[in-house]
Amino acid sequence: MVSLIMDRKPTNAKDFLSNSRKLLRVAKSKLKGFTKDQNFETIESINSLFQTLRESSFYFNFDEIENLLNKSESFLFVHCSDPKALDSTHIELLINICTLLQEMFKQQENKGQNDGLEEKTEKLIQQLEHQITELQDLPSILDPSSHEQSKTTPFDPEMLDLFISESFERLEDAEENLLLMETAGQDSKQNDFLKTCFRQFHTLKGNANLIGIQPLEWLMHSAESLLEGFSNNRQIIKGDHYRILLKTIDVFRQALTSLSNYQKLTTLESQNIQLQTSIISDLLITENIDIDYSSALDDDQDKIYLESSDSENDFIDISKTLNSEKQPTIGVQAVKQKDIRIGLEKLDQMVNLVGELVTVTNIISHQTHIQMSEENDFSQFVNQLQQVSNEIHEQTMSMRMVPIANSFRRMSRLVYDISKKSAKQVSLTMSGENTEIDKTLVELIADPVLHLIRNAVDHGIEIPAERIAAEKPPTGNIHLQASQIGNEIWIIVRDDGKGLDREKILKKARKNGLIDPSLTPPDETIWKIIFEAGFSTAKEISALSGRGVGLDIVKQNLDKLSASINIESQKGIGTTFTLRFPLTLAVIETLLVKIEDNFFSIPLVNMIECVELKKADIEKNHERQIARIRGELVPYIRLRKIFEIEGKSPDIEQIVVVEYNQQKIGLLVDQSLNKHQTIIKSLGKMYAEVENFSGITILGDGKISLIIDVNNLIKNCIEKEAIITNNY
């Protein structure tokens, strides 16, 4: 590898090698004459030398040299912020590095044999790593501006949390605006996006400074300077620049994650931040942008300017002219706050407690009719209690609601990334981002939506040439829409691609035995097949999708959320996926049914209707578990048998008809009671293996009802062949 490149650029490499050795010699002599007074400059110069050498080594593919330099830089990085901490061991280490580098360069120059250099390198790298980690453990290195605080705890945990969560929000906004900027191109709007992005970087810089994380402050400072440079010089921003800025956001995010996990930056994160900062700094140089170091460097200076009419100077340094006076105390304390942040854990606890309250209220209201004659007023109070507890419940649930926008924003980055990777041009538009959904739902829907978008880019949107041939604009569009309809949240993913290929899907489905070859099912049935496990029509397996593990996972996840999916597709025009989620996860509408003395709840989302089944009907069908409902044959499952409940079924039973995979299936129960709003409680870890139930709910009279997981139940029955179905 090395020799190949050397052959291609023989002179360059040779010049580089001999120059490098010269530079290293100078650096060594500087280090040898090192005194503490002029330390900063020396270290700075060594640092920049290492940086240049590393980049060139990278260019010439001198991997080992690059690696060593990388480590050396990290080592210097932690030292640069506090050169006073340098002692003779460190200097000696640096001199050793220089010597080793000289030897390594010489070896490259002569293309000579390895004479124990590897061993030496390894040893030095170990030493460096040791030094780096040792230093990283001292938070004061990373936090030189607030020594008093760092002695005990590096950061006030509450402030750190606030910093982290706000930074995440700002990064998302910056990311969104960066992406918009690129889409806008030379549009006049581009400047607005640039300004917003600049402002976010600026605030992030300020906040990093406030909390005392200098590397992040520097990173944001360089990013900010880059944007400022673009805006001032009216320069055209290239694709590379966006990539670097997006990468910067990623690096910051990773740093935040590490901060929230370890309360400090890990060595790796510090290195990444430093590297990213240097990448931007290099870009600033190549783009001829002057970086204003003064605003980031002058941490220790108190820059305060006072407007004063009685002074001849425009500015006076007030710290010198004013004496501190007695502090005034007027007014009373009244802190105004518009909103507060509540931890999700606390809120979950609250939701649980309110759930209990509602349950207890229901129990009491159930009891009152017995005691009503004795204490007539009591029922009135119970009614009130019920009303209040219902309202509290509603309010508490609404606290869990957050706008879906956060989840959507991530998607624009995704589309950006994948359209860069594939040869397709894709834009993402959105509507209804302000729709509020349950906080837990935000996390859970992200994955299915992400898969659908990936799928749309990979299978839906055509390459530009194909699109032009089909008289479509070369850039494909994916529209993401959220809305609240009744008790559901609808999320629509619509692409203007080539649409689903009916014949292709049908062929494949028949081949894989997913469909009976003699049947020609309607479009809707065929579209649903793409969600079956092991189905993928992609000719080539790409990195994005097409491994046949995409969409069936979507379906599984959606089932877990008791969500449904609907597909519409027209050849040449595009495909629309409509996801329908229940508004909140904790409360669902169910039908309460009874078998002997046991109560069960069937979610209404699954249910179609409820019909009677007489003994005579069963006999008519020769005991086969099939009922004729308005001329249609519906197979049913005798829940009494599945749940192994002893006793004799009544003469008239009830069939609860539910939908499963586009097919009607009946669940046979003794009695269907009433619809009710159910607060789901999980079965707990002990019963995690129980497959047929998704949770329990406590009824008005304190009895327990198991909530049936309809999809899983039917699936299990089909597997055990406990049900006769048409096409399975």
Q: Which spans of this chain sit near other proteins (rule: CB under 8 A)?
A: 145-146, 159, 162-163, 166-167, 170, 196, 199, 202-203, 205-207, 209-211, 292, 294-295, 298-299, 301-307, 310, 314-315, 318-319, 322-325, 327-338
Q: How far is the CB of 201 from other proteins (least distance, A)?
A: 10
State how far the alpha carbon of 592 is from the alpha carbons of 669, 693, 699, in Å: 10, 14, 9
Q: Are 198 and 227 in contact (CB under 8 A)?
A: yes
Q: How far is the CB of 155 from other proteins (least distance, A)?
A: 12
Specify the residue for token string 């124990």.
Answer: 116
Q: How far is the CB of 522 from other proteins (least distance, A)?
A: 51
Residue whose CB is less far from other proteins, 303 or 346: 303
Nearest 10 degrees: Cα torsion 111, 116, 121, 122:
130
In sequence order, the 6+-apart residues with CB closer than 8 A to the CB of 228 are: 198, 289
Residue whose CB is less far from other proteins, 256 or 500: 256
> How far apart (Å, rounded) are the C-alpha atoms in residues 24 and 73?
15
Residue whose CB is less far from other proteins, 37 or 302: 302
Strand order through the sheet with 704-708: 671-679, 587-595, 598-603, 704-708, 693-698
Sequence-separated contacts (24+) of 278-283 with Cβ below 8 Å = 278/51, 279/244, 279/247, 280/219, 280/222, 280/223, 280/225, 280/226, 280/244, 280/248, 281/222, 282/55, 283/226, 283/241, 283/244
> How far apart (Å, rounded) are the C-alpha atoms in residues 674 and 125?
72
Specify the residue for token string 């129990």.
Answer: 363
Q: How far is the CB of 371 from other proteins (least distance, A)?
A: 52
What's the maximum distance between 2 C-alpha atoms anywhere in the chain?
A: 109
Phi, psi of 87 (to 5 degrees): -125, -175
State how beta strands 607-614 and 598-603 pair: unpaired
Residue whose CB is less far from other proteins, 18 or 263: 263
Residue whose CB is less far from other proteins, 289 or 492: 289
State how beta strands 476-485 and 704-708 pair: unpaired
Q: Are 408 and 433 in contact (CB under 8 A)?
A: yes
> Quick one: how far is CA 659 from the chain centroid?
33
Q: How far is the CB of 381 from other proteins (least distance, A)?
A: 41
Q: How far is the CB of 216 from other proteins (least distance, A)?
A: 13
Interhelix angle for 439-455 vs 405-421, to 10°? 20
Residue whose CB is less far from other proteins, 20 or 225: 225
Q: How far is the CB of 334 from other proteins (least distance, A)?
A: 5
Residue whose CB is less far from other proteins, 33 or 328: 328
Q: Which amino acid is at 569?
A: S
> How far apart (Å, rounded) are the C-alpha atoms in residues 113 and 201?
49
Residue whose CB is less far from other proteins, 110 or 301: 301
Phi, psi of 402 (to 5 degrees): -135, 155
Residue whose CB is less far from other proteins, 285 or 304: 304
> How far apart (Å, rounded) are the C-alpha atoms in residues 271 and 668?
64
Residue whose CB is less far from other proteins, 94 or 171: 171
Q: How far is the CB of 258 from other proteins (least distance, A)?
A: 18
Residue whose CB is less far from other proteins, 162 or 683: 162
Q: How far is the CB of 221 from other proteins (least distance, A)?
A: 9
Residue whose CB is less far from other proteins, 185 or 206: 206
Residue whose CB is less far from other proteins, 319 or 387: 319
Sequence-separated contacts (24+) of 65-72 with Cβ below 8 Å = 65/101, 65/104, 65/105, 65/108, 67/121, 67/125, 68/97, 68/100, 68/101, 68/104, 68/121, 68/124, 68/125, 69/101, 70/271, 71/125, 71/128, 71/129, 71/132, 72/97, 72/128
Q: What are the structure tokens assigned to 436, written together?
A: 């509020």
Q: How far is the CB of 212 from other proteins (least distance, A)?
A: 9
Q: How far is the CB of 174 from other proteins (least distance, A)?
A: 12
In sequence order, the 6+-apart residues with CB closer than 8 A to the CB of 38 are: none
Residue whose CB is less far from other proteins, 137 or 299: 299
In sequence order, the 6+-apart residues with CB closer than 8 A to the CB of 416 are: 179, 182, 246
Specify the residue for token string 């995440």.
Answer: 168
Q: How far is the CB of 316 from other proteins (least distance, A)?
A: 10
Q: How far is the CB of 319 from other proteins (least distance, A)?
A: 5
Q: How far is the CB of 460 from other proteins (least distance, A)?
A: 35
Closest by CA position to 75, among listed 124, 117, 120, 36: 124
> How far apart (Å, rounded) are the C-alpha atoms in residues 607 and 589?
11
